[in-house]
Each structure stands twice: as structure tokens, then as C-alpha cells.
Amino acid sequence: MQSMEAGSQGDLDAFDRHVGADGKVEPQDWMPAAYAKTLVRQISQHAHSEIIGMQPEGNWISRAPSLRRKVILMAKVQDEAGHGLYLYSAAETLGVSRDELEQQLLDGTAKYSSIFNYPTLTWADVGAIGWLVDGAAIVNQIPICRCSYGPYARAMVRICKEESFHQRQGFELMMALSKGTDAQKRMAQDALNRWWWPSVMMFGPPDGESVHSMQNMAWRIKLFSNDELRQKFIDMTVKQAEALGLTIPDPDLRFDEASGHWQVGEIDWDEFWSVVKGHGPCNRQRLAHRRDAHEAGAWVREAAVAFAAKERARSARKAA
């Protein structure tokens, strides 16, 4: 594959100039091996997150409180599966197979977003995920629609449209609960209390500890740093919580007149790293469930391959 060929210093300089000037890179173009490697890393982690991310909300499909809510939730969870598939396809353009990436997820050697290792204890968690987690995902992902790698950027356009819808449905669900009975309002507040900090952490480690940010911003894979995006999310969400009549669970939250931004209290980075390293409340459960689903779906994959082979043979006979 072209991208794996070593390039000269001149090739590297030309590549850096091209992406630095907002040029796009396509699969057939020459690219530094490290650029391809970090893209496969980020895109596959993103794909795995979408697939594992189906589980927390999927947990509530059979218990949704009305037919309308059930239909919406089923469509949302199905959308996340679609996002995973676009992203695996984008990663495949870099010469890695979907099977290989899936195997890394099943082996437990691949990362996926920390956020999906928290449990969904009540129905309000479905609203909190749509509002906060999809909200954070949009803030992080809208800039990726303009990233330097063409297939990733194009996949993100559709994903972001769907994520925007997801965020609105989560906010609407939270609004219904906040305007409901006292018990419903308490449920909404409890969900915010549990999902706020994990959502703030979703943007990744603080800039000083982010190993990939500097190079990936130079290559325009990331257009903003983790802290810049986190701040954008906080500023946006504080106002939304106000509109819902809910309280952000942070006694140190304050508006900083000088910078014009909301400042949060200390983030528990030990908790973040513990979850990333596999010790969150649901890491084991999420992987075990994915492995079971993969095994249970083997017959579907085998049937699809057999059917495709039969169809190929039929068209070959027709063409002969």
C-alpha cells in the first residue's frame, strides 16, 4: 500500500504543507506511516465506542415507558450501529481489515470511550446520555467533518447529523422529566449527577497530558485540543441545565468574567484513567456482552458469506 512506503524528507515536508493548508488526503495518496497509524487508532477507537455505546441505552429498549419512546430509542441505538459501520469502513481504506479491528475489541486490546463503562440505572439515564453524551460527541465530532483525511471527514458529516437529532431527543426527554412529577424531576437530577463528570472526562486527558494532540492537530486530524472542546461543552451545557431547571453537580462551578467561560471544579483524573484501564463499573460487562453477541451472530455472518458466494456463482453462470 502506498501509504506504507517510506517517503523522503521532501515527501514529508510536502505532506505537512498540504494538510497545513487544509488540503484533503485520500486513500490513494502518499501519507506518512505514522499519519495512517494514528488515524487507524483514532477511527477504530471511535468505531468501537459507537458499537459498545449501544449497550447502555439498549438496556432500556424493553422497558421504555411508551411506544413512542421505544421507537425513538430503537432508532437511536440502531443509528449508533450504523456509525460504527461507517467508521470501520473509513478505517479499512487505510489497509486494515474490519475483522482485525473487531478482534482487537474482543481481545480487550483496543480502547473505546470511557463513558460507556457507566451503568444506566434509571430511565432518566437514557435522556442524560442523549443530552450529555451525544452533546459531547457533537462538540468533539463536528470539527472532524473538516479533518484532513477524506473518508473520515465524509463519514462524520452523516454521523453528526444523526447525533444532533440524538442530542435533541435526549434534551426533550430530560425536559419532560424535569417538568413532570417531583419523583421524575428527582430522577432527572440524579441522572445528571451521575453522568456530568464522566461526560466532562470524555474529551480525554488535559492538554498537558494528551500524547497525540500536538501532532494530530498539526496534521489536522484534530482541529481543537481536548481542553478547548471540553470548555465549549461546559459553556453550552450549563445554560441547557438552567433551561431544564436542573443543577450541575459541582459546588465550584462559577462564571469567570475575565475569560467569559464557566469554570468547573477539579476533575477526578484518577477515576478517568482507572476506567480507561479497564476498572470502571461496567468494563467487564460491556466486553463480555460484546463477545457473546459476536458469537451469537456467527451464523448470520456465515449465512451472509454463503449467500454472497451463491450470488456470485449465479451471476458468473449468467455472464458465461
Binding of ligand FAQ by 53 (CB under 6 A): yes
Region of 25-33, 178-186, 200-208, 283-291 interacting with ligand FAQ (CB under 6 A): 200-208
> For the chain, what's the residue count?
320
Tell me how far CA of residue 68 lies from CA of 63, 71, 86, 185, in angstroms.
12, 5, 27, 20
CB of 173 to ligand FAQ, least distance (A): 13
Question: Least distance (Å) from ligand FAQ to the CB of residue 320?
Answer: 47
135 binds ligand FAQ (CB under 6 A): no
Distance from chain centroid for Cα 110: 14
Q: Does 42 participate in binding ligand FAQ (rule CB under 6 A)? A: yes
35 binds ligand FAQ (CB under 6 A): no
Q: Judge whether 133 and 66 are in contact, CB under 8 Å.
A: no
Q: Which stretch binds ligand FAQ (CB under 6 A): 18-26, 42-50, 243-251, 297-305?
A: 42-50
Interaction between residue 316 and ligand FAQ (CB under 6 A): no
Helix axes of 298-319 and 283-296: crossing angle, nearest 10 degrees: 40
Query: Residue 45 interacts with ligand FAQ (CB under 6 A)?
Result: yes
- Answer yes or no whether residue 203 interacts with ligand FAQ by CB under 6 A: yes
Which range, of 24-32, 46-54, 95-103, 281-289, touches ligand FAQ by CB under 6 A?
46-54
Residue 149, SS3 per DSSP: strand
Query: Binding to ligand FAQ by residue 79, rule CB under 6 A?
Result: no
What own/partner pairs with CB < 8 Å and gap ≥ 24 does 163-166 have? 163/83, 163/134, 163/137, 163/138, 164/138, 166/76, 166/79, 166/130, 166/134
Backbone φ and ψ for 95, nearest 5 degrees, come out as 90, 15
184 CB-contact burial (10 Å; exposed 0-12 / middle 13-18 / buried 19+): middle
Cβ of residue 215: shortest distance to ligand FAQ, in angstroms? 9
Site string for ligand FAQ, 144-183 (x = CB under 6 A): ----------------------------------------
Is 41 a binder of ligand FAQ (CB under 6 A)?
Answer: yes
Spatial separation of the C-alpha atoms in residues 225 and 229, rounded to whole Å: 6
Q: Which residues form the interface with ligand FAQ (CB under 6 A)?
A: 41-42, 45-46, 49-50, 53, 80, 111, 113-114, 129, 133-134, 137, 140-141, 202-205, 210-213, 216, 222, 226, 276
